[in-house]
Structure 1
Amino acid sequence: MTDSDTRDIERGNRETTLAVIGLGYIGLPTAAMFASSGVRVHGVDINPATVDLINQGKPHIEEGDLDALVARVVGSGALSAHLEPVPADAYIIAVPTPVSHDSIRKPDLSYVMAAGRAIAPHLRKGNLVILESTSPVGTTDELCRVMAELRPDLIFPGEGHEVDIHIAYCPERIIPGKMLRELVENDRIIGGMTPRCSELAAALYGRFVKGECLQTDNRTAEMVKLTENAYRDVNIAFANELSMICDHLGINAWDVITFSNRHPRVSILNPGPGVGGHCIAVDPWFIVASSPEQAKLIHQARLVNDSKPEHVIAQVEEALARSPDAKVACLGLSYKPDVDDFRESPALEIALRLTRRLPGRVLCADPYEHALGNAGHGDVSLAMVPAEEAVAQADIVLILVGHEKFRSVSIPAGRRVIDTVGFLRAPLSAEQVPHRSR
């Protein structure tokens, strides 16, 4: 790929080839959108089952119109899946960046660096490499160093004024359930290691992104992504902490939040059983790890949200103290309503802990249970039954996720209901008097 070829990426004058490394919740929708825009996409994933399924035109995740899109672009030959990287004009890395589950909560960048090592042999002059995985500040620099060590025949950013390999960081900004629309409409932060890197990455995303492609440097872009999710985490922590305070004082937290939000400058979020997903539950730890002395509020917010499952379990324990032999129904296990994503799900954590605590007495229901294997827990030993059956057999009904499919479930009279997400609660108007409902 020559300098004139990089200009072709900007202008869209030739069939650009793109390799997307990682075909998970972010990589597959991204690969499909690029393929639909005229880019020839080679998706890469280490899971043979995932590769086989995609090559049949079938996505391995549920996401709106993704089924039809993948079928179309695979059928047209614009998208194919592989177990190993292939030569391409541009590469996007969209692999996991988890944190350890010990007290240190250290970021694990091994998947990112492994992806860099895998594509390094295929790099040629003029290539563009974009990291999308949410990462601590400095990860793009480290990725560049790893690839440069493997390819001393090429000039990487920082090694000279004119570079052979262009590298940028461009974090994803999409949520399950709205991925395809947000991929197109949301603004993108393009953080190049040089201004030219930013220009080329912005041009590539411009093939289908209608939002603005805002250009900056890679370290700023890395911090922007972490900041967005840490901001949300802090606000959720306020709501979760408030709910625990209200429980302690015997006040209905939903009433407090509803009336407080009638103030023109107050907008408190809804509490829940904790925080899950691949972003908000993980990304703030990257900031804490890099600046532990400065990130006091962000750290405390993480501790509050991580403690909420314990508070929910204590509520169940309180109910069990009155009915020691009671059965418990756990409604909802995914990390948010109406998605098949169980990563870092506090609801799933609560269900697993209760199952271990009460063997044979916990029934679980989730309309997306078929995707439980993607949660990273391996084989999940839970008693999964339809929601109607769970509430019919249980004495305690624990609502953990407000799936719309639960709206039709009738909870029999006499059941002790613990609603962690306000699912059964009708919104109050300002004219209504707050009441205590326990």
Structure 2
Amino acid sequence: MQQPGQQPHTVSVIGLGYIGLPTAAVLAKNGVNVIGVDVNANAVATINAGAIHIVEPGLADVVKRAVHDGLLRAVTSPEPADAYVITVPTPFTADYDADLSYIKAAAQALAPHLSVGNLIILESTSPVGTTEQLADWLAEARPDLSFPKTHGDEADIQLAYCPERVLPGQVMHELVQNDRVIGGLSAKANAQATALYNTFLKGDCLLTNARTAEMAKLTENSFRDVNIAFANELSLICDHLSINVWELIRLANHHPRVNILQPGPGVGGHCIAVDPWFIVASAPEQARMIRTAREVNDFKPDWVYQQVQCTIQAAAQQTGKAVDAVNVTCLGLAFKANIDDLRESPALAIAQRIAAAHSGTTMVVEPNLPATAQPVANATLTALDEALSEADVVVLLVDHTPFKAITRAQLEGKLWVDTRGLIDG
């Protein structure tokens, strides 16, 4: 039985994706016995072989060492542990409501293994009230155990919400250095969760209740989304007025109290592109600016696509080719630079739409995916030099490091759409 302030001996991490696997690895690196759980049998086998199935700098060596030392192993179904950390996806439905089915499935899978003294931490980005819903699902599955809603600090099982606050590409550093917001369903849950994170955390543990912690995560990403929407809307206005948006922002940011973000092809990733809708769904009449920001950012890929269609037509006229003979190269598919994560990626959506509509050749360049990947139907994953050489139209969608070295000489005679300011900026 885990006591308040006592570090757990065994932690089970449910969901071994972009957050779960780094969390499991960091815990194991600090001497905790970790059982990782994922329904993806290939991911489980890869991890047990001491390798990784995702791209994240610094992760591979930590996983390899943890598996070699016997502190990390992966399985496809939960086993008994002192604490459980749930890091499963929470996508949204077609109506922008949260899909909590993965959390419910995790609850149902681990419920048979619960015992008195267990701690459960939900890290998945969730609407306000989800941690309480998780407790209700567990209580329904295990009526023989008590939970904080009815027993508070005296409950058999304690629950807390602790959102991840890391940046893809810097996860291994930020997991350790960033402060953590911990929202327990009881004071005891807060103490136990703090003890768990203090096994590796150098930042502070900021204690609150579960509902506030849930809202804190949504607020952080909605703040980012609103600021990105301002930059994206500026890019639309500047195009209409024939102004270089990159120069405009650079000049405006010389004001001592102005810090405008950079526009892009939209907003992607599992957090910023999703979380604001959870707030809108919970308070639709009040969340007017947050809704508008989402609409601006969701519109941007459509606008980019229309820019590409116009550029293809212009390239056909410039080269004397038929439209279906124009070669299009799309640079980047991930939702941000230097990672392989395609979740909610506007770049991927744009490339897919171009390839589906263009009867000519579409090439895509994504240096963070294996050469055998086929992420875009009707398009060929191509090496950068070849894709640039063959292109009539270049669509720059992601500012991956290799793309920053592209020269104007490589683009001579070509037309382009630059959504990241690497060429036009």
Alignment equivalent of 1:75, drawn from 68, 73, 77: 68
5+ residue gaps, structure 1, are 427-438
Following superposition, the deviation at residue 378 of structure 1 comes to 7.6
Deviates more, 1:68-77 or 1:57-66: 57-66
Match of 1:359 in 2: 359
- Please show how residues 76-155 of structure 1 align to structure 2 within 5 Å: 76-100=69-93, 102=94, 104-155=95-146
Tell me if 1:64 matches 2:64: no
Match of 1:300 in 2: 292
Moved over 6 A (4+): none
Measured against aligned partners, the alpha-carbon deviations of 1:254-298 in whole angstroms (never above 9, x if no partner) come to 111111111111100000000001100011111111111111100
Match of 2:280 in 1: 288
Tell me if 1:34 matches 2:31: no
Deviates more, 1:319-328 or 1:72-81: 319-328
Cα 1:175/1:293, change in 2 over 3 Å: same
Deviates more, 1:377-386 or 1:223-232: 377-386
Alignment equivalent of 2:185, drawn from 190, 193, 198: 193
**Are the counterparts in 2 of residues 340 and 371 from structure 1 also a CA contact under 8 Å?**
no
The AA in structure 2 aligned to 1:130 is I
Distance 1:361 1:116 in 2: 47
Identity %: 53
Tell me if 1:424 matches 2:423: yes
**Are the counterparts in 2 of residues 342 and 372 from structure 1 also a CA contact under 8 Å?**
no
Distance 1:372 1:221 in 2: 41
**Are the counterparts in 2 of residues 387 and 409 from structure 1 also a CA contact under 8 Å?**
no
Size of the alignment, in residue pairs?
A: 414
The AA in structure 2 aligned to 1:148 is A
TM-score by length of 1: 0.92
Cα 1:220/1:279, change in 2 over 3 Å: same
**Are the counterparts in 2 of residues 95 and 111 from structure 1 also a CA contact under 8 Å?**
yes
Tell me if 1:170 matches 2:162: yes
Match of 1:277 in 2: 269
Distance 1:147 1:233 in 2: 34
Cα 1:347/1:138, change in 2 over 3 Å: same
User: How big is the alpha-carbon RMSD for the aligned residues of Structure 1 and Structure 2?
Assistant: 1.6
Distance 1:275 1:321 in 2: 27
5+ residue gaps, structure 2, are 317-322
**Are the counterparts in 2 of residues 184 and 209 from structure 1 also a CA contact under 8 Å?**
yes
TM-score by length of 2: 0.95
Match of 1:429 in 2: none
Deviates more, 1:235-244 or 1:357-366: 357-366
Measured against aligned partners, the alpha-carbon deviations of 1:322-373 in whole angstroms (never above 9, x if no partner) come to 2342221111111111111111110110000000110332111110122997
Tell me if 1:395 matches 2:386: no
Secondary structure of the 1:158 match is helix
Deviates more, 1:311-320 or 1:172-181: 311-320
Deviates more, 1:153-162 or 1:184-193: 153-162
**Are the counterparts in 2 of residues 19 and 88 from structure 1 also a CA contact under 8 Å?**
yes
**Are the counterparts in 2 of residues 388 and 409 from structure 1 also a CA contact under 8 Å?**
no
The AA in structure 2 aligned to 1:241 is E
Following superposition, the deviation at residue 379 of structure 1 comes to 7.3
Match of 2:401 in 1: 404
Match of 1:248 in 2: 240
- Please show how residues 203-282 of structure 1 align to structure 2 within 5 Å: 203-282=195-274
The AA in structure 1 aligned to 2:417 is I
Cα 1:379/1:331, change in 2 over 3 Å: closer
Distance 1:111 1:379 in 2: 26
Following superposition, the deviation at residue 380 of structure 1 comes to 4.6
Measured against aligned partners, the alpha-carbon deviations of 1:43-79 in whole angstroms (never above 9, x if no partner) come to 0000000000000000111111111000000000000
Distance 2:294 2:79 in 1: 40
The AA in structure 1 aligned to 2:67 is V
